[in-house]
Amino acid sequence: MEDIEKNIEQQNISADDEMINAAFQRLLDTYLASYHRRKVDIITIAFNFAREAHKGVRRLSGEPYIMHPIAVAQIAAEEMGLGSTSICAALLHDVVEDTEYTVQDLENIFGPKIAQIVDGLTKISGGMFGDKRSAQTENFKKLLLTMNDDIRVILIKICDRLHNMRTLESQPANKQYKIAGETQFIYAPLANRLGLYKIKSELENLSFRYEHPEIYKQIVEKLQQSQATRESLFEEFTAPIRAELEKKGYEYELKARVKTPYSIWCKMQRKHLSFDEIFDILAVRIIFTPKGEGDAAEGDECHNIFLAIRKIYKWHSERVREWLENPKPNGYRALHATFMSKSGNWVEVQIRSRKMDDIAEQGIAAHWKYKSQNPNEPNEESEFNDWLRTIKDILNDPQPDGMDFLDTVKMNLYSSEIFVFTPKGEMITMPADSTVLDFAFQIHTFLGSHCMGAKVNHTLRDISYKLKSGDQVEVLTSKVLRVEKDWLDKVNSAKAKQKILMILRRYDREKQKKGELVLKEWLTAQEMELTTSLLDHLCQFHDIQHRENFLLALGDGNIVLGDADLDELRGKNKKKKKSGWKKFIPFMKDRQQEETNNAIPVANSLLTVGKDFNKKTPCVITEETFGMYIFPECCHAIPGDDILGFIDNDNHVEIHRRDCPIADKLKTSYGNRILDAKWEMHHKFYFDAAVSIQGFDRKGMLHDLADVISDQFDINIHKITVSTTNGLFEGIIDLAVHDRTELRGLMDQLKMIPDMQEVLQAK
């Protein structure tokens, strides 16, 4: 028997070696086919070093661990076009984190540059921060700091994340939500900001697949069902375009670009459309080899091709967008226009040169290919320098809250740009939708903190006035002004928001010191001493989570200590924490059971997560266990929603919808506290929901509404509010439903009522 087991083990090792060697050979072939200098020796050394370092270790999927670094290096070489330094760093990126080798060891063997990149990629251990702090935020800060020295750190990190997303299936559900949430919140926007459109789209789509698997599956099936129709439309639409391009002597390639399931879902959500109501699923991409040289010549040829297509098809004058003379902040250049096909469908056409296409697909990596003799060295004059400087400003904030930090960085990642001028004519680049206050903080923190308005093009404007490209701005200040909390609503740039938060935190520290003094004086008068446990007791009594917030409330005068506090500290008044879960269920009994008063037994004590709690096991929410969980009002989750659990600071479990904005931040900042959660409800409870309606006013409309809601669906109406103006009506209907599926079915049926124009979910 031992001989048989050894033989099987030997066969497995042999198969692993064959798979590993084949993957590495493919990597070398990809590298050798690129424009980079031939440095095969250093890549081979890095591969052998990593292979030995990870020897005997396997991933959850069962494959040898070394296959992951090889895959990351393959993405770096093939999909980003990076060179030998990046490939070596990708092969070695987990060595310091997962083995006993140090950054110094790598520097001794591979030199300082590769070691520096690997160090930037090495995660900070979660144990250094504990469960209550955001290790992910700290990791991301380190990543961004290193990125200021070498942009390849973030590029390889995106390669690493892309491969992790491609192999996410082997992870337990709670890890899937955590990784997908981080990806959607941080890494997809990063890829977009660096011009990696193809990778950005794949990251978004993979995240969507794991966050909302059922919806993803439905959209994929509908795309497959409509594929033949799209292919027919593409061939019919492009035939005369091909003829015109060949007549003009262009070397070209025509591609059909189909919206991803994620982008389709986003449009369905944003515009409240069904799949069948989305008509721009297909776009046509024209990629041509320019006849002339230089960006200007390429731009002219894009316009020439556009004019040639205008002679074939009618065009939509309001849907022409061009980024030729003024590229997007990530370097994207192209001309987009929409034309009417012979079959009556609007089709978007994207016109790019091959260089533009390379930059669109590979982003900053393609810039090196075209702009730098040494492709591994970032261009110091890159358009990303201003962006990187803003990131550095954010990182310089000594104590940013983890959630605020990620919010602020993301705001910067997503922004497009405008160009405005100082009174002396100096051009300043600002995020789109920037206000006068944004501009003031962009110039100087003192100017921003004392800004009372500005003269924009010699006209007086307030601090919330939104600037446009070409505006000339003169900031007006007052020394007596102080930064206010509502200023956060009057800025749209990451830099201004971060500066305001820094100033407000400084104000808060002053108030906290005052609050601490007030508390000490009050305790002294009661012949008591200030201790940590006493402060925690007062926080709990006033239902305030953090000590700092309690001291702040004292310093602000929002809390005045009195006899009730004294009774609480002396044990005369015990205040119990309430979960608040009952307010989400208007009816705790099935309507058939009401007559017999046979109530459903519901747990009324919150689940507490202890040391032995298995985070890989899903929280199953039934009628009996419903009361064990907290349902925050941020997303109002009801049965039928895709949900997850989050372990809060009191070790209780909150239930959020997976697309909840708060849940997005929790997945990114506190991924180790995310749990899988599932519904197993059986139409026993009713949940609050609301539907907004709009349409043409007519006699009998309310009767038709009541007929559908009450008679067809047997759903109880809590309240209905309707107003009419000029023959149109709009209203809100408050309902009690069993689950989201029942609500969607009701809304679909309401849309069928004559003269009903719009039915939307209100909450």
Tell me the torsion sign for CA atoms 602, 604, 609, 610.
negative
SS3 198: helix
Q: Cα–chain-centroid distance for residue 553?
A: 33
CB 49 within 8 A of CB 92: yes
Alpha-carbon distance 708 to 751, whole Å?
Answer: 10
Structure tokens at 633: 């009002």
Active site residue 404: no
CB 242 within 8 A of CB 302: no
Catalytic entry in 9, 17, 52, 97: 97
CB 80 within 8 A of CB 159: yes
CB 147 within 8 A of CB 388: yes
Structure tokens at 178: 């955590």
Alpha-carbon distance 478 to 712, whole Å?
Answer: 64
Angle between helices 197-211 and 152-166 (to 10 degrees): 40
Q: Which H/E stretch holds residue 653?
A: strand 653-657
3-state per-residue secondary structure call for 492-552: CCHHHHHHHHHHHHHHHHHHHHHHHHHHHHHHHHCCCCCCHHHHHHHHHHCCCCCHHHHHH
CB 195 within 8 A of CB 332: yes
- Kindly give the residue spans of alpha helices, DSSP state H, lying in 84-212: 84-92, 95-98, 103-110, 112-121, 135-147, 152-166, 173-182, 188-193, 197-211
Q: Cα–chain-centroid distance for residue 609?
A: 28
Structure tokens at 195: 């011009």
CB 420 within 8 A of CB 439: yes
Structure tokens at 578: 């309430």
In the sheet that holds 653-657, the strands lie side by side as: 619-621, 674-679, 643-647, 653-657
SS3 28: helix
Alpha-carbon distance 165 to 51, whole Å?
Answer: 22
Active site residue 97: yes
Structure tokens at 395: 């990182």
Where does residue 697 rank: exposed (0-12), middle (13-18), buried (19+ CB within 10 A)?
middle
3-state per-residue secondary structure call for 144-167: HHHHCCCCHHHHHHHHHHHHHHHC
DSSP states of 34-84 as a string? SSS---HHHHHHHHHHHHHHTTT-B-TTSSBTTHHHHHHHHHHHHTS---H
SS3 630: strand
Catalytic entry in 16, 63, 78, 98: 98
- Kindly give the residue spans of alpha helices, DSSP state H, lying in 570-674: 591-594, 661-669
CA angle 65, 176, 225 (to 5 degrees): 105
Rg over CA atoms, the chain: 30
Alpha-carbon distance 598 to 585, whole Å?
Answer: 16
Among candidates 375, 367, 365, which has minimal Cα distance to 78? 365
CB half-sphere exposure, 208, CA atoms < 13 A: 20
CA dihedral 361, 365, 370, 376 (to 10 degrees): -160
CB 516 within 8 A of CB 534: no
- DSSP letter assigned to residue 467: P
Active site residues: 97-98
